[in-house]
A and B are shown apart, each in its own frame.
Chain A
Amino acid sequence: MTDYDVIVVGGGPAGSMAAEAAAKGGAKTLMLEKDRDIGYPVRCGEGVGAAGLRKFIEPDPKWIATTISKVRMRSPDNTQVDFGLANAGYVLHRRLFDYELANRAGQAGAEIQTRAYVDGLIMENDAVCGVKYQYMGEQRSLRAKLVIAADGVESRVGRMAGMRTATKLKDMDSGYQATVGNIDVDQEMIDFYNGDVWAPGGYLWIFPKGDGMANIGLGVNGKYAHECHPHDMIHGFLDKYFPKARILTSVCGGIPVAKTLKLITSNGLMLTGDAARMVNPVTGGGIITGMVGGQLAGQVAAESIQSGDVTVSGMADYPKRWHKAEGKGHEAFYRIAQGIAEITDDQLNKIAHRLVKTPSDKLSLLKIFTAVAREKPGILLDVTRAFAGV
């Protein structure tokens, strides 16, 4: 006997989308969240593209902090290249957004439990058959036909089933972000600081959050994190450029800038979102891609339960659909990220000096890539591949 058809571990965007899709597909579903709150703490820059978001949910002013129409790219010598976004973006209030997604999962019929820390799996005949977890100091276990691990960057549930989820240091960015107030930044613009001088192997971002507030964060490649110390770099940056900014919240976190794991299923188990490394390796963005992956996982979970086959082969549609939707593109983005990492600060300055001569209404992402390609021709093929989806 099983207690549930599907147990989802983790209540972030990927987990909630999985729980909602599974419940809608007719599966008796439970979602477990280890923290006492869904959506908190927010370890995220909170930026999303409008088009990607609209595929899942109609934007609601309740959880949208700002609407973004402009981008500023800064070079290491602080040359500023501004351009408009063809497709608008948003900076979210993740705390409320995550609530909304979990609420939708609940409305679709999924049960939810917070403060539930999964610390083991029920394994039988090389298949996952449920979870062991702690709730308020009490050890519990529940049987399920299928477990979906949406447990974030840590991705321990997969390891409990013997999967290899550990990320290499070079494929992990080490991040730190302060949400600050008393800051005067353009509320319609996201601002990126590129180059090793700002964030070795990564970038620094300013995302406006409305009411004179902003998320100011950076990710540095794992290889450099110990020397560069993300916490010190953000504090140094604020002291120098925004001495009047007041820190309201600060968080740290890891951003997996890896390719999606080769295996995202095991018998009775699916991995999704950050846990499956579904983050875009160039931008470090993982909200929408996590929602894509989570929804696919939930849909295939419900289908596999109906057909009575939750083995790796019975769930083969999940990795197949992910690969088609985003996975293939991510592999190209991963190659682009490796190419970008090789561009020196001098080269970035040269590119910016060239671009800054173009009026901003004539600039686009494509123009920027073309300018990058002039400096570093090898990257062109990867970019073409990424956009052609091959």
Chain B
Amino acid sequence: MILVKDNRCDFCGTCVAVCPVDAIELREADISIIHDTCIDCDICVWVCPIKVLSSDKPEEVKND
């Protein structure tokens, strides 16, 4: 599951632009992950310029 750290997002939309399944909702100052749609690919975690997004996957799974 992708997690959003509270109060740190800059709402720049970079994660939205790379999400392959359109699972991120972003408004003026509000971001949410649509968990039913999310495929846990972690691309959003990688691209975020300020590390607001994180994955709750254990490290060994991430390295597969």
Contacts and interface: CB of A to CB of B under 8 A. Distances in A.
Interface residues of B, number: 21
Nearest to A229: B51
A98 to B, nearest CB: 16
Interface in A130-181: 152-156, 159, 165-169, 172, 174-176
B16 A174 contact: no
Interface string B39-60: 0000101111111000000000
B27 A225 contact: no
Contacts, number: 88
Q: Pick from B17, B27, B43 the residue with the most CB of A within 10 Å.
A: B17
A35 B12 CA distance: 12
Contacts of A174: 14, 47-49
A321 interface: no
B46 A253 contact: no
A62 to B, nearest CB: 26
Interface string B10-41: 10111011111010001110000000000000
A254 B17 contact: yes
Interface of B: 10, 12-14, 16-20, 22, 26-28, 43, 45-51
20 contacts: A34-B27, A115-B28, A152-B13, A153-B16, A154-B17, A159-B22, A166-B19, A167-B17, A168-B18, A169-B43, A169-B46, A174-B14, A176-B49, A225-B48, A231-B49, A231-B51, A252-B12, A252-B49, A253-B14, A254-B49
Top 3 A-B residue pairs of the complex, sorted by shortest distance between their CB atoms: A254-B14, A252-B49, A154-B13
